[in-house]
Amino acid sequence: MLDYLKSPVQTFQDFLVLTGRSVRNLTRPPIYWRDVLMQMDSIGVGSLPIVALIGAFSGIVMTLQMSRALSTYGATSQTGQVVSISIIRELGPVLTALLVAGRNASGIASELGSMKVTEQIDAMRALGTDPIQKLVVPRLMATAFMQPLLTAIADFVGLIGGLLIAVSVIGNTANQYWTSAIDVLELNDMVQGLLKPFVFAIVISLVGCFYGMRTSGGTQGVGLATTKAVVVASVWVFVLDVLVTQIFVSLQ
Amino acid sequence: MAEPILEYSNVGLSFDDKRVLSGVSFSVLPGDTYILLGAAGSGKTLLLKLAISLLQCDEGSIRLLGRDITRLRESEMFDLRAEVGILFQEGGLFDSLTIAENVGYPLRNQKNSNTNEDQIEARVKASLDFVELGHTLDKFPSELSGGMRRRVGIARASVTNPKLSLYDSPTAGLDPITAHTIMSLIVKEREIRHTTTVLVTHRYQDGAMMANYRWDKNRNTVYRAAPWGEYANLRTTFLVMNEGRNVFRGTQQELEACRDPYVSQFVLRQPAPKPGAELYQGYLPA
Ligand SMILES: Nc1ncnc2c1ncn2[C@@H]1O[C@H](COP(=O)(O)OP(=O)(O)O)[C@@H](O)[C@H]1O
Ligand SMILES: [Mg+2]
């Protein structure tokens, strides 16, 4: 039993070490800004279309699902309210995070994993650069910056998706929908809606880097690292979602 | 006696419960050439990585350029690593950078190389010309053949004029002709820059070449520094590794005379040369 626990505990400890070193390096020169920009482009701009698409569909589907319940209780005028709260607090951040985990945690893990097995990471250290500084910090910074933006975009597109259904199926006027959607939002929701993606981003990028940098066993190892990174990052997204939500609920 | 450039004292290393190195001791003096032979998995790559502290050993100690690096912090290692050139077994060339950027990487990133951009470009060009790849500056590693990538690796390892050169299996997976070209470059590098060399290989010919061949600047080729059947022993020592242990150390004659069944498998006896073959083989009588 103890042996069975030893390896996950050891892995988690190694992960914390990487996290500690990355955070410490954030304040240390040199910051490789060119790499930060490149990562912002691949993580942010690259994920934009799929994030927008998923945002729109989730808005549409959710509003469709709600429409019957709302009309049963004669509450169709509150469609905007229901849609906006669930998207901003929950669906936007979590769906975006899952997409970023699938797209970028895997991308990061496979890129760093191939670099590891072809000894490029050793070469970096041998030739005067710290791989944490050169590889991990730019990915961490770029994800932490882009993910709240991506989430905001997903939220907005989701609200528009909801609007389409509210107007065409439920019979709201656009004005009615927007007023109800905006009025219900409190500062608390906005903070929650932006804090979540920020926290998710840190974990997703670090998990990707972590599994990438500890890849071993050639190309097969790269595949394993990639899979692990996506699975672990996705699980963490849900765990952290519960934690952050709980904190906000108890604050209210 | 000169101080060793690199010295292993009773070095041991384990991963989890598996012992991968134990009791390895040897020291490399300035101008020496060491050939590490051994089966795959015998710990040759680990020994090279330990030399520049890419990993740390659990037992014993390692001294590099007069400093004990056994417990040195990563930040303190960077200056020492700048004195060492290393060619990795898997290449270690950065896929995302051009050949010129790859070769210039140590010049731009190692702290104590305060060279300006013009000097860097000149040195990159010179280093690539040295390995006869001056025309590939703007290509990417993926556009080159395996042998060319090894040559770029040699150029990158030597661009800083290191005191110590480490080569990890430079000829692995190459055809005999390309392998010969690579080994000639390593002989040339040793001759022209007087670097101390540690070479990992599983090909006996590579060791024999380091032990007996020198570079002829005028003819731009290697030549054998002793008549056939004799040994030039150009300060070359052979080490044979077996499952993390050093099971043999000695000169080429001693290696060829060794009767140990594992060790003798690495020896490839050269056929007796045909009469007149000396000239054909590039032997220049002194
Ligand atoms: N990071 C690692 N984790 C676990 N075992 C390793 C690691 N690196 C090397 N080994 C093991 O150490 C032994 C020696 O490896 P290596 O030095 O690469 O051999 P080679 O002589 O072929 O270069 C091998 O058995 C290898 O499996
Ligand atoms: Mg090896």
ipTM of the complex: 0.88
Q: Which domains does chain B possess? A: 1-83+202-207+221-286 (3.40.50.300)
Q: What is the pLDDT of residues B105-145, one digit of tens each?
A: 999 888 766 678 888 889 999 999 988 888 889 999 999 99
Tell me whether residue A99 is in a domain: yes
B104 touches ligand 1 (CB under 6 Å)? no
Q: What is the pLDDT of residues A24-68, one digit of tens each?
A: 888 888 889 999 999 999 988 889 999 999 999 999 999 998 888
Q: Which of B14, B16, B45, B48 to mutate to test the pocket of ligand 1 (most atoms within 8 A of CB)?
A: B45
Q: With the C-alpha atoms ordered B254, B247, B84, B165, is the resulting torsion angle positive or negative? A: positive
* B98: CB partners within 8 A, 6+ apart: B137, B138, B139, B140
Question: Which atom number of ligand 1 is nearest to the Cα of residue B89?
Answer: 23
Ligand at minimal distance from the CA of B243 is 1
B38 touches ligand 1 (CB under 6 Å)? yes
Quote the tokens at residue A226: 């990639």
Range of the domain at A160: 34-251
Do residues A70 and A81 lie in contact, with contact meaning Cβ atoms separated by under 8 Å?
Answer: no
Tell me whether residue A3 is in a domain: no
Tell me whether residue A168 is in a domain: yes
Q: Tally the C-alpha atoms within 13 A of residue A140's C-alpha that lie toward its C-beta.
A: 26
Phi and psi at residue B256, to the nearest 5°: -70, -25
Tell me whether residue A40 is in a domain: yes
- pTM value? 0.88
d(CA A82, CA A86): 6
d(CA B179, CA B173): 9
Tell me whether residue A23 is in a domain: no
Query: In chain A, how many domains are there?
Result: 1
Chain B interface, mutation test: which of A21, A42, A124, A127, most B Cβ atoms within 10 Å?
A: A127
Ligand 1 center to A98 CA (angstroms): 36
B16 touches ligand 1 (CB under 6 Å)? no
Residue located via tokens 């595949």: A223
Tell me whether residue A21 is in a domain: no
* A53: CB partners within 8 A, 6+ apart: none
* B225: CB partners within 8 A, 6+ apart: B212, B213, B214, B232, B234, B286
pLDDT tens for chain B, residues 1 to 286? 678 999 999 999 999 889 999 999 999 999 999 999 999 999 999 999 999 999 999 999 999 998 999 988 888 898 899 999 999 998 899 999 999 999 999 998 887 666 788 888 899 999 999 888 888 899 999 999 999 999 999 999 999 999 999 999 999 888 888 899 999 999 999 998 889 999 999 889 999 999 999 998 888 889 998 888 888 888 999 999 999 999 999 999 899 888 888 998 888 765 555 554 444 455 555 4
Q: Which of A88, A117, A96, A148 is nearest to A226 (CA)?
A: A117
Residue of A nearest to B158 (CA): A127
Tell me whether residue A15 is in a domain: no
Tell me whether residue A171 is in a domain: yes
Ligand 1 center to A153 CA (angstroms): 47
Residue of A nearest to B52 (CA): A126
